[in-house]
Structure 1
Amino acid sequence: MAQEFKLELDKRTELGNQTAKQMRDKGKIPGIFYSATHDAVPFVIDRRHLHDALQSMSRVYAVTVGEEKLHVIFKEIQYHPVTEEIVHVDLFGVSLKDTITLSIPVVLDGEAAGVKTGGIMTQNITELEISCPATKVPEAVHLDVEEMEVGDSVHVYDLSIEDGEILTNPDITVVSVQAPKEEIIEEPELEEEELEGEEGEGVEGEEIPAEKGEGEGAEKPSGDSEKEEGASK
């Protein structure tokens, strides 16, 4: 199981979009906690502390709501569409006795043999949705890619986790190594006028073939005919 990370939350009493914006300007991120057995509790969390929590390898977090110690998972994280900063988080309470559904990262280990020979590696998904006991959530799914050659691919059905089930579509390609695309250099097309000009122009010094009826092989007027014309005069 991933190491447990304790979240430090402050209860939030003032609600509304304007108040939430003021909190974010002060480095606080608004959020809400809820569970099957608890009413919704609005809170704020320090932005840096939140980033530390998300960068930790923990997936189930410990919190204190009032005087009660609980465990939660991040149910939803909302990001600003332009700055991509976190603007709101939802925490969902879970029991360590429960089987829970959540997403965990896919981590690629090593450098693929196919990449070393010029191939291009593409990772299509970075997370897997899984179901497992709350006490046995893995930090991540690690995939060793060192032996992957050009043309190789790994699908979700090739992966597995201990004490749990992968819920992501098994036919999805997780990672693949492909040959680099060859650059096709197109020759510039000559305009029609240029082509016609080239066909009509002879090469300097080259003898132009005679047209039919001229030159060697053509019939010449006979001398007798000329004499007959002179006699008739």
Structure 2
Amino acid sequence: MDIVLQATRRDKGARSSLTKLRNEGKLPAVIYGYNVDTIPVSIDYKDTAKAVQQYGRTAVFKIDVEGKQLNAILNEVQRCALKGTVKHVDFLSINMSEELEVEVPITPIGEAIGVKEGGVLTQPLRVLKIKVKPSDIPESIDVDISNLAMNDSISVGGIRSSVQYEILNQDEETVVTVTPPVVVNDDTAGQGDDENQDIKATEAPESES
């Protein structure tokens, strides 16, 4: 299904002009890459958010700039540090017949045996960089963790043969692992607190800037 986003050219302006666009429900963006010069544009915030939520960040969008349609993917998203709202996006124009390198999220599937026994599941690697044609970009890469026992892990090398894409990460990178729970010794917990208090008491106070 084609995901078409209507874009309007905009002039590169001061921060106030970008704020005005956002207040009008628009999202400042730029398009660059294959067969196009860098174009500053604005797009509808709600339409873009809805499309990304429905089809994922790895989807291929058609950006309609005044009647010219470009195939593009989201290349960068800038968010407001305080509110978490998206304030600017970069679209990379692509050639649909050529492979490209993209990052795709990893989704653990199932419940690990080690977790059922009280272990803790950690995921050091949350995205995989793959090389794939745009039409074949997956929304995510599922990794079955059901058979992971305590102290077991799954590395990139362990899933390389189970996907249809060229993975660019190193084989030794850990994707997920199950570790034993941390046991806190109540007898020593208080001693540690006292030691920390002693250290704080002997530290010189910081000067105010």
Determine if the TM-score, normalized by the shorter chain, exceeds 0.5: yes
Amino acid at match of 1:123: Q
Amino acid at match of 1:10: T
Q: Does the CA-based 8 Å contact 2:154-2:175 persist in structure 1?
A: yes
Amino acid at match of 1:54: V
d(CA) in 1 for partners of 2:23 and 2:186?
Answer: 53
Q: 1:86 to 1:183 in 2, by over 3 A?
A: same
d(CA) in 2 for partners of 1:82 and 1:159?
Answer: 37
| Alignment match of 2:5 (pick from 4, 7, 22) | 7
Name the counterpart of 1:170: 171
| Alignment match of 2:50 (pick from 41, 49, 52) | 52
Alignment coverage as a number of residue pairs:
186
SS at match of 2:93: strand
d(CA) in 2 for partners of 1:39 and 1:111?
Answer: 48
d(CA) in 2 for partners of 1:171 and 1:4?
Answer: 38
d(CA) in 2 for partners of 1:66 and 1:22?
Answer: 21
Map of 1:204-223 to 2, 5 A cutoff? none
d(CA) in 2 for partners of 1:178 and 1:83?
Answer: 34
Shift of 1:23: 1.6
User: In the TM superposition, what whole-angstrom CA distance separates every residue of 1:171-193 from its partner, at most 9, and x where no partner exists?
Assistant: 2211111110111122567xxxx
Map of 1:197-208 to 2, 5 A cutoff? none
d(CA) in 2 for partners of 1:125 and 1:4?
Answer: 31
- Backbone CA RMSD of aligned residues: 2.0
User: In the TM superposition, what whole-angstrom CA distance separates every residue of 1:69-127 from its partner, at most 9, and x where no partner exists?
Assistant: 22101111112222222111111111111111111111111111211111111111221
SS at match of 1:30: strand
d(CA) in 2 for partners of 1:154 and 1:46?
Answer: 41
What percentage of residue pairs aligned between the two structures are identical? 26
SS at match of 2:17: helix
Shift of 1:44: 1.4
User: In the TM superposition, what whole-angstrom CA distance separates every residue of 1:188-215 from its partner, at most 9, and x where no partner exists?
Assistant: 67xxxxxxxxxxxxxxxxxxxxxxxxxx
SS at match of 2:37: coil
Shift of 1:4: 4.5
User: In the TM superposition, what whole-angstrom CA distance separates every residue of 1:37-87 from its partner, at most 9, and x where no partner exists?
Assistant: 211211112222222232223522122223222210111111222222211
Name the counterpart of 2:149: 149
Map of 1:1-233 to 2, 5 A cutoff? 4-13=2-11, 15-55=13-53, 56-57=55-56, 58-160=58-160, 161-162=163-164, 164-186=165-187
Structure 1's consecutive aligned runs of 4 or more residues displaced over 3 angstroms after TM superposition are none
SS at match of 2:186: coil
Amino acid at match of 2:9: K
Amino acid at match of 2:111: E
**Which of 129-138 and 90-99 deviates more?**
129-138
Shift of 1:14: 6.0
Please report the TM-score for the alignment, with normalisation by the length of structure 2: 0.80
d(CA) in 2 for partners of 1:4 and 1:105?
Answer: 22
The answer to which structure has the higher strand fraction is: 2
Please report the TM-score for the alignment, with normalisation by the length of structure 1: 0.73
Name the counterpart of 1:203: none
The structure with the largest alpha-carbon Rg is 1
